[in-house]
Each structure stands twice: as C-alpha cells, then as structure tokens.
Amino acid sequence: MVHLLSEAALQRLRPAQERAFRSPIPTQMISNGEFTPLPQSPQQRRVEARIKELAALYGKKLGMSRRGFLTTASGMAAAFMAMNDVFGPVFNVSKAEAAEPDVAKARAEALASQFIFDIQTHFVHDGFKQEDLLGLAKYAADNWNKELKQKQLTLAYYKFENYVRQIFLNSDTKIALLSGAPFDDPSWWLIPNDQIVDTVEAVNRMAGARRMLGHFVFTPGQPGWMEAVDKALENPRHQAWKGYTIGDPLTNTTRYPWRLDDEKLMYPFYEKVVKSGIRQIALHKGLMPADYETSWAKVWQYNTHWDIAKAAKDWPQINFVFYHGCLQPFQETPDRALAEFEKTGEIKWSSHLARIPEEHGVGNVYAELGTTFANSATANPRFAAALLGTFIKGMGVDHVIWGTDSVWYGSPQWQIEALRRLEIPEDMQKKHGFKPLGEADGFVKSTIFGHNSARLFGMNVRAEADTLSRDRMAQLKRDYAAVEGVRNNATYGFVAAG
C-alpha cells in the first residue's frame, strides 16, 4: 500500500500478507504505510505460540487442521483466549466457544445483525499503477525472495472486488464510508473523488439500499483546490469531506501542509461547507514514522492536535472527526506507553484531543478509532482499554467513532470482535475513573459501532437496519457464506522483519 516511510525504514519491513502468521487476530503490529510498525514483542510471540497450541488442541478434537480451525468462529475465540492467557482477562471469551463450534456459531449469529458503520475504509482504483509501493512488492521480489511469482505480487488485495468481499461479506459491517488520500502527484491518488462517488452510487444501486457513503478529499493550498470544491458543490454527490493537514502523506517534502485554524486559507472553505449542509469533515491526525521528529522535522506538528480547538470553537456548525484519534506514533513498545499512562494518566496527543471539549466548551470534536484501536488491541489490549477509556471519559461515548482503516488490514471482523469482547480492567476503572464498556451489543459498544455515525449522517438506525437485513447485499452475504463461508485470516500491509 502507499507508504510515507523512508527507504531505510522499508528495508526493516516485510509484507504482512507473505510474512504474518495467519491468525484470526494479528499477532504483531501491522502498518497501513502511514506509521512504523514495531517488531513483534515478547508478549505477542507468546500469544502466537499459545494460539498455535490451542488450535492444535481443539482442532485435533474436531478433526480439523490447525489452520482450518483458525478460520472458524471457535478459532477466533481461541485467539482471544490466548490474548487473555498472556495479557490477563481483558477480553470476554469462554472455553466453550473454542471447544464447541455450535456455541461459537450461536454467539456469532446472535451478534451478526448488530448495526456497524465503518467510517474509514479504502481501496485503490483499477488503474492504480504504483506497484513498487504497494505491499512492498517490488522490493520483496528484488531483495527477499527472487522466486516470488508475479501473481503473488498483486494489487488485487487492495482493489474493489476484495474490498467488497472483506468489508461486506467477511465481516458484520453494515455501512461503510469510502475514503481517499491526497498527494502532490495526482498519479498517487488511491481513488479520485469522482470514482469515490461513482463507486458509492454503484454499490448502493446494486444493493438496493444505502450501504456506502463517500468522501470528497480536499487539498488546501494546492493550485485549484477551491475551484475543485466549488465544482463538487455545483451538484453534490458526496456525503462528507476528508483532509490531511500534513499535506501529502507520502513524502516528508510535502509542499502543502496547513492548519485547521488558518483563517485566510480555511475559513472561506468552512463557509462553503456550512452553506452546503455537508458538515462532516474527517481529518487525518497522528500516525507517522517513529522517527518523525527528524524525518518529518519541518512538518510533523501539522499532524498533531495544535490547531483543533480554535477551528472547532469558531465553527460549531461543523463536525470535526479526527481519524486515528490523534494518537502519537509508538516510538517504543506499547508497554512503555501503557506504563506512562498508568503513571500520568496521559496518552500523548490523544489525551489532548479528549480534553478539548471540556477545556474549550465545544461539542463538535470526535475521535475515530481506525488503526489505533487495531494495533493497540493486538499489541497491548490494556493500552487499547486505556485509549477507549480516555476518549469516553473526556469526550463522551457519543463522540467516539468506529472505523477500521480496512481493507488495508484484510477483513475488519477481527477488529469488530476485539471491541465486542474488550473490557476495561477493574483496576484501571477505579484508578482513572473509567466506566465499564459492557456487553458486546450493549449501549456503549453499540453507540460506538454505529449509532454515533448514524446520527452524524441523519440516519434512523432501526429503519436502516431493517432495510439492510433484506437488501441484495444481505442476500449476497448469505449466498457467500453458503459457498465460501471461511475466512482466510489474511492481513495486508507492513510488518517489522523478525
């Protein structure tokens, strides 16, 4: 996938789809190309070994191979059991789910209708040609394994067909918002704005229901950017806006970084946004290479919380949704970040975001969980619990938004399961004043999974859910389950070399 990592950093990485253990949940940190993945930790190695042990144990009893067992609902349960064995009882899971497929299947079926609105999804357009920077394909062939066949080095992982398969057929996601990313070089755009809206309309027409929404990616400072906005507003076909204050996320020589609170550059745009009625703006914040202070020395601050409060206060009519929850890149292991949180109650940059509503009296700032939750939940689930607790306590559960940054990581089902099963440990609740997350389909998790985004986009959850249960995509999913019905546990992206 597209990355913003240096060549030196790339040499320390490997393609996840070739090197990562195919577990129901990842056993090492996987990068979407926007940050440096840390090496597999000792705890993650123990989790992986324990998953293999449990898969061999339960698989043998069921007459299945280890790999086959791990593609089942019981295999998913066993993976969370392994996480609990290593990190303590953070996930709600029972041995019966792993041992008895009917128990695991019954649980999965009971939750399958849950309303899940994924507000951050991606794929690349069919004409995208930048193979050398997707999946490390060219570098892999040149340096790691010269015997790799060309068919293994494919962009198909990141294109539309696999997107539909992973998002709608291999997960419980009901609605997805298709997003993009801006680049100084137009040939690098993952999917142009016109193709985003064409895709959204085509999928919704096929489904006979509203299954997708789309972003218009705006590029402040680039020549003609406001003219592009004006043209889009002549006949609006998008449902939200997307921007990167860092400018071009691919290169540290980006020419167009900008601030949300730049009154000369941005406020005329906000006026148009308010007038248009399309008032949801998603902003990429956080997630950079671990060495960002040197490799992105002149621009890294544009990716922080420094410009949020004033813009939010000046424009209360606009909802600002901050992708990745503004989390500072992990420079050391999540264990260190967790230890710092336990000592200070702070999660760098994310805690700043969480305090903005109270400190500045605003109610239009939201934290989205894409990538940050995925990697926190697998690297150290106690840290994931701390992150969720921080956002909910500071912003309110009604301002925490579900997103997965898929299809970069394969099917988002493992992320869905991680949130369904995660609980904030009691000692953390008492020490930091956090409330429990509760049941998989309880108020807190259902609110995060879909109700908040539905509210932002003016949807009635009950009516939408009823329609989506009967549309053509739902039937396609039932047909797919009958014919295919097995996850491949593939993940895409970058992992640190072992």
Identity of the highest mean pLDDT range in 275-279, 409-413, 481-485: 275-279
pLDDT, one tens digit per residue, over 209-248 is 999 999 999 999 999 999 999 999 999 999 999 999 999 8
E strand or H helix that includes residue 55:
helix 42-61
- Let me know if residue 10 belongs to a domain: no
Query: Is the pLDDT reported for residue 149 higher than 50?
Result: no
Higher pLDDT, 1 or 67: 67
Percent of the chain at pLDDT > 70 equals 85
pLDDT, one tens digit per residue, over 464-482 is 999 999 999 999 999 988 8
Identity of the highest mean pLDDT range in 3-12, 100-109, 322-331, 480-489: 100-109
- Let me know if residue 58 belongs to a domain: no
* Spatial distance between the Cα atoms of 315 and 267, rounded to a whole number of angstroms: 9
Higher pLDDT, 164 or 20: 164
Query: Is the pLDDT reported for residue 4 higher than 90?
Result: no
* Spatial distance between the Cα atoms of 272 and 229, rounded to a whole number of angstroms: 9
For the segment 163-189, the average pLDDT, to the nearest whole number, is 91
Half-sphere exposure of residue 409: CA atoms within 13 angstroms, side-chain side:
30
Query: Is the pLDDT reported for residue 60 higher than 50?
Result: yes
Q: How confident is the model at residue 132 (pLDDT cuts 50, 70, 90)?
A: very low
- Let me know if residue 23 belongs to a domain: no
* Spatial distance between the Cα atoms of 345 and 351, rounded to a whole number of angstroms: 9
Q: Say which range, 9-23, 260-274, 478-492, has the weakest mean pLDDT.
A: 9-23
Nearest to 181 by CA among 135, 125, 136, 137: 125
- Let me know if residue 37 belongs to a domain: no
As for how many domains the chain has, the answer is 1
Query: Is the pLDDT reported for residue 310 higher than 70?
Result: yes
Query: Is the pLDDT reported for residue 33 higher than 80?
Result: no
* Spatial distance between the Cα atoms of 490 and 237, rounded to a whole number of angstroms: 33
- Let me know if residue 388 belongs to a domain: yes
* Spatial distance between the Cα atoms of 467 and 450, rounded to a whole number of angstroms: 15
Higher pLDDT, 449 or 408: 449
- Let me know if residue 50 belongs to a domain: no
Query: Is the pLDDT reported for residue 147 higher than 70?
Result: no
Give me the domain span that covers residue 192: 117-479
Q: How confident is the model at residue 34 (pLDDT cuts 50, 70, 90)?
A: low
- Let me know if residue 279 belongs to a domain: yes
Query: Is the pLDDT reported for residue 19 higher than 90?
Result: no
Q: How confident is the model at residue 136 (pLDDT cuts 50, 70, 90)?
A: very low
Quick one: pLDDT at residue 144?
35
Q: Report DSSP letters for 267-301, one per residue.
A: HHHHHHHHHHT--EEEEE-S---TTHHHHTTTTGG
pLDDT, one tens digit per residue, over 379-430 is 899 999 999 999 999 999 999 999 999 988 888 999 999 999 999 999 999 9
Cα-trace Rg, the chain: 21
- Let me know if residue 63 belongs to a domain: no
Where residue 132 sits, what CATH number does that domain have?
A: 3.20.20.140
pLDDT, one tens digit per residue, over 80-112 is 999 999 999 999 999 999 999 999 999 999 999
Average pLDDT of the residues of the chain: 88
